[in-house]
Amino acid sequence: MASARELLPLFPLNTVLFPHSRMQLHIFEQKYRQMISFCLANSMPFGIVLIRSGDEVGDTAEPYLVGTKVRILDTFHYEDGRYDLTVEGVERFRIREINTEAPYLRGTIESVEDIEEQDELLLAQLTEEARSLGEMLVREHVDNKEFAIKILFPEDPGQLSFALANMLDFPPLRKQFLLELVEASIRLETLIEVLNDLVRNISTPMKRLTSQDLRDWVTPN
């Protein structure tokens, strides 16, 4: 059964945001100020999409067709009209039709969900292995001698795969590939391969983990 479709404002960027992850945005271009004002006034989400061609600033960019719907968590409105936002990914969507009638890009979209896995035992094994490797990597790169840490990765396989993918410093196209996959098991297998390499070379992490990376799932214990 096809999912319901809706018309969603779109914000093209040169980066990918995964569901359940957060991002800070600075909105300065007039058309996107208008978009954010509309979303805030109507308590409406918008979509973040990776740019396929074009630029973040200026003429309308062509986006990849799978993106992430986000909700606005925090906002600061400058006197000159600019916005600082904190947004959180809610769910993936696929663009079925581009709409250019407004000053900013919009798309008729439908939600994208993972398909049901046939081998639940394999999925559970992949989830446990990915979580273990992720926890090991985080512990090695959180250098705090004053307290132990408790790592709170999601239990759900899909959410775990998105949390790990967001943490690692993949190129945008590789993140887009992971975002578009509809099998959590394949995302986890891909991530496990990368995590194994990182753990084996623990002195050279893929990127420096920051408090922003760790905020949602690492707490003092």
Share of the chain above pLDDT 90, in %: 70
**SS3 sequence, 78-117?**
CCCCCEEEEEEEEEEEEEEEEECCCCCCEEEEEEECCCCC
Q: Tell me what pLDDT residue 77 has.
A: 92
Mean predicted confidence (pLDDT) in 119-129: 96
Mean predicted confidence (pLDDT) in 29-43: 95
Mean predicted confidence (pLDDT) in 130-145: 78
- pLDDT over 60 (residue 29): yes
- Other CB atoms within 10 A of residue 55 CB: 11
- pLDDT over 70 (residue 80): yes
Query: What is the rounded average pLDDT for all residues in the chain?
Result: 87
**pLDDT tens for each residue of 47-79:** 999 999 876 566 678 999 999 999 999 999 999
> Cα Rg for the chain, rounded, in angstroms?
18
All domains in the chain, ordered by first residue: 5-112 (2.30.130.40), 120-220 (1.10.4060)
Q: What band does 181 get if pLDDT is binned at 50, 70 and 90?
A: very high
- pLDDT over 80 (residue 196): yes
Q: Tell me what pLDDT residue 170 has.
A: 87
Q: What are phi and psi of 164, to 5 degrees?
A: -70, -40
Q: Tell me what pLDDT residue 221 has.
A: 40
Q: Tell me what pLDDT residue 213 has.
A: 55
The shares of helix, strand and coil residues in the chain, as percent rounded to the nearest 5, are 35, 30, 35
